[in-house]
Amino acid sequence: MDDIQIKKQPKKYDAIIVGSGAGGGMAAYVLANAGLKVCLLEAGPNYDPRENSSQLKQPWESPRRGASTKFRPFGDFDGCYWGWEIDGEPYTQKDGSNWEWWRARMVGGRTNHWGRISLRFGPNDFKRRSIDGLGDDWPISYDDVKPYYDKIDKLIGVFGTNEGLYNDPDGLFLPPPKPRLHELFIKKAAGNINIPVIPSRLSILTKKINKDREACFYCAQCGRSCKIYGDFSSSSVLVKPAVATGNVDLVVNAMAREVLTNRDGLATGVSYVNKADMQEYQVFGRTVILAASACESARLMLNSKSTRYPNGIGNSSGVVGKYLHDSTGADMGGIIPELFDRKRYNEDGVGGMHVYTPWWLDNKKLDFPRGYHIEYGGGFGMPLYGFNWDIQNLNGMFKVHGKQKEAGGYGASLKEDYRYFFGAHVGMAGRGEGIAREDSYCEIDPNVVDKYGIPVLRFHTKWSDYEINQAKHMKETFKEILHSMGAVVTWGGDDGAHNNYGLHNPGNIIHEAGTVRMGNDAKKSPLNKYSQSHDVKNLFCVDGGQFVSQADKNITWTILALSMRASEYIVDQMKKQNI
Amino acid sequence: MDRRDSLKALIVGGISTTVLLDACKQPAKEGAENTENKDAKGPDESDRMDEEKLVNKQLREAPKFFNDNEMAAITILGDIIIPKDDVSGSASDAKVPDFIEFIVKDMPEHQTPMRGGLRWLDMQCLTRYEKAFKDCNHTQQMEMVDEIAWPKKAKPEMQQGVAFFNLMRNLTATGFYTTEMGVKDVGYKGNAPNQWNGVPDDVLKQYNMAYTEKELKECISFDTKA
């Protein structure tokens, strides 16, 4: 190895942003467009969906036919580099904890492959403690965030419908796509048992909104990232135009090590290791904005220790890393006999569901405090690795063209079965709100470092009865819907008390939030209501870390709104010379 | 216009989706052309990160896992599971044995069940017919396969064979239905630029479904007559 030396970048920036996902991309976009000079650090390589997406590749163009690898846990065509494990970057667990940590390493972060589900938090979602006495209220309300949701709807584009639901607020929506056939079945079946099904709200362009992005062409592959920028990825929609202003220096393969401080206790910049040459670098700026993901931002703060900040920068409260929480999740699948031997046509549609179920019940009448929404899947999917896997569990259960067959088998008769069942499957996934708790946290493992010598995170999280009871309710609901549409449960039907009703491990739903939460009380929260550190006025955190609670809504739209809000605040404060 | 050209046109942007879709309606000779292109240029890895390119290269250059006898048995079994029929070709026509050879290297957890299962099958055949499976005549091979291909009615002492045959069936079907031949067989029509205009009218009628007025008013629709 060459001698290690620290290379100091002489240019002084207005802002150093760590991470280029939803939060960091938005901050870079707002600051750059305000004329500020930005250094945007990203731990992974460059990525532009136009150049690097697997969109429209055929199954046989993957040697493993789209199966997952450690590099692509969601499949070989998925648009996210890395996931649950990264070579040389471990994380550890404490007291039998089983947190699952997804980490994207690429420009745009995990927004390149996410589900594009873009739900506003509702008025209740900011004031949960006032409603059920659990967790804490946010220091802001829906009215504070609404203007930013509106701006983001217009800037980025989202389809949906205004339904006038109090806690699922209306927005500025593009027209949604019509439901697919199985979605009509779901809508009818759920409607019969008084469960609402409404058009989904996804950040996909059903109409062109500006000259840089094309309208969706319905290949259902948003998860691969979109070459024509027809959906929202931070890489294509925020980072690219931000860089085009000339005000952003994007530094890729830059793994942040520490936030640097001066004698006054202010943040002065960030030190990082360049993964390409393994050298140490330092960049300096008037503000430091963390957007590395809830857990990575917490890790960075906890690792930024000094005499002045012995517990890590911005952590006089001791709260950094605490209140870590993920969405709850439980799923079930079935098959609809009425759809056997369907007429074939292209029903790809957009990348994701065309309809969903927002939370529809009153928790006062239930044995768990917070709600969940239901996401739906099914229909004619591209055949990929695992296509009709274990058909022997299916083909003995149903008559095929009027004929009862023995399970398993081979030959022309088996080929007939694969055709017969294609497109008849349906799936549903509950995604709900867990309670953010002080004893669910990540901390620095005192013994372990990654390959760059950076101390790693150790997790301590577990579910309570609230989340388990909610998963039980999800499962009961799914069974009712499936039953109501005449479907037969094919998976997820055997979960019960023995396995928390199929409740996924915390972290598994990839909505990590809460580690650097905002609040008015500096003793109980690292950030104020502008995502600004109570302790260090030129340090901000604009990712999922700032969340007090995460609602039963996917968090990206709110990350974008809060990051935009914090960024406008930063521009204003800089103008006033306050930072 | 083929898939790649059409995507290029979309990316460049000067072309509207409607024009593009008309262009795509012309019959494509895609299959042959794309295969030739690929052979000339090697796999398109613009979507791979460096770590993946390395692993994929190592896999391409790795020594064979299955020996010739094993490959012969895999080929015979594959073509029993997916034979040529009125709709499409056989597993070996779709090069499924090559896929199985690759996938056991990519997913080492399949190696022992496959190798051991093949050996189990050969030992059964040696006892019954004094020959390895691949050397048995067709009647003997089918007799043996019928012992392990029907999980519910297989004899208890055949359970290991059933487990092997289930895996073999899974890998063969996965390998087959993810080829151009298999995708066509099963009738997957997507993975192409489209304008989603809802479920076709005849299909709605077949299932006694209809869009609500609200949906027709609110949802995006395209003029299909143009």
Name the E strands within A481-521: 488-491
Q: Contact, A203 vs A160, CB < 8 A?
A: no
With a CB cutoff of 8 Å and minimum separation 6, the contacts of A219 are A55, A56, A348, A351, B190, B191, B192, B193, B194
Give the number of C-alpha atoms closer than 13 A to the C-alpha of residue A475, restricted to the C-beta side: 20
Which residues are paired to A290 by β-bridges? Answer: A18, A541
DSSP letters of A407-465?
SS--HHHHHHHHHHHTT-EEEEEEEEPPPP-TTSEEEEEEEEE-TTSPEEEEEE----H
Position B61: which residue type?
A: E
Position B12: which residue type?
A: V
Model confidence band, residue B22 (pLDDT cutoffs 50, 70, 90): low
Residue B173 CA to residue B94 CA, distance in Å, equals: 11
Query: What does each C-alpha distance from A469 to A369, A370, B74 come to in angstroms?
Result: 9, 10, 48
Between helices A411-421 and B68-81, what is the axis angle to 10°?
Answer: 60
How does pLDDT run across A117-148, given as a tens digit for each residue? 999 999 999 999 999 999 999 999 999 999 99
Cβ contacts of B197 on chain A, cutoff 8 Å:
178
Cβ contacts of B205 on chain A, cutoff 8 Å:
none
**What is the percentage of chain B residues whose pLDDT exceeds 90?**
79
**What is the percentage of chain A residues whose pLDDT exceeds 90?**
99
With a CB cutoff of 8 Å and minimum separation 6, the contacts of A186 are A197, A355, A376, A378, A426, A428, A481, A485
The whole-number pLDDT of residue B36 equals 42
Distance (Å) from the alpha carbon of A307 to chain B's nearest alpha carbon: 39
Model confidence band, residue B30 (pLDDT cutoffs 50, 70, 90): very low
Nearest CB to A54; choose among B47, B60, B199: B47
Q: Contact, A496 vs A486, CB < 8 A?
A: no
Q: Which residues of chain A have pLDDT under 70?
A: 1-2
Which residues are paired to A251 by β-bridges? Answer: A41
Residue A247 CA to residue A258 CA, distance in Å, equals: 24
pTM of the predicted structure, to 2 decimals? 0.95
Please count the helices (runs of H) and the strands (runs of E) in chain A. 11, 18
How does pLDDT run across A405-442, given as a tens digit for each residue? 999 999 999 999 999 999 999 999 999 999 999 999 99
Residue A67 CA to residue A61 CA, distance in Å, equals: 12
The whole-number pLDDT of residue B28 equals 44
Model confidence band, residue B13 (pLDDT cutoffs 50, 70, 90): very low
Nearest CB to A407; choose among B103, B152, B197: B152
Nearest CB to A346; choose among B47, B194, B202: B194
The whole-number pLDDT of residue A4 equals 77
Q: Which whole number is the average pLDDT over B64-70? A: 98
The whole-number pLDDT of residue B43 equals 84
**The tokens 């997913």 sit on which residue?**
B107
CB contact under 8 A, B211 and A390: no
| Whole-complex ipTM | 0.95
Name the E strands within A55-112: 92-93
Number of A to B CB contacts under 8 A, please give it: 239
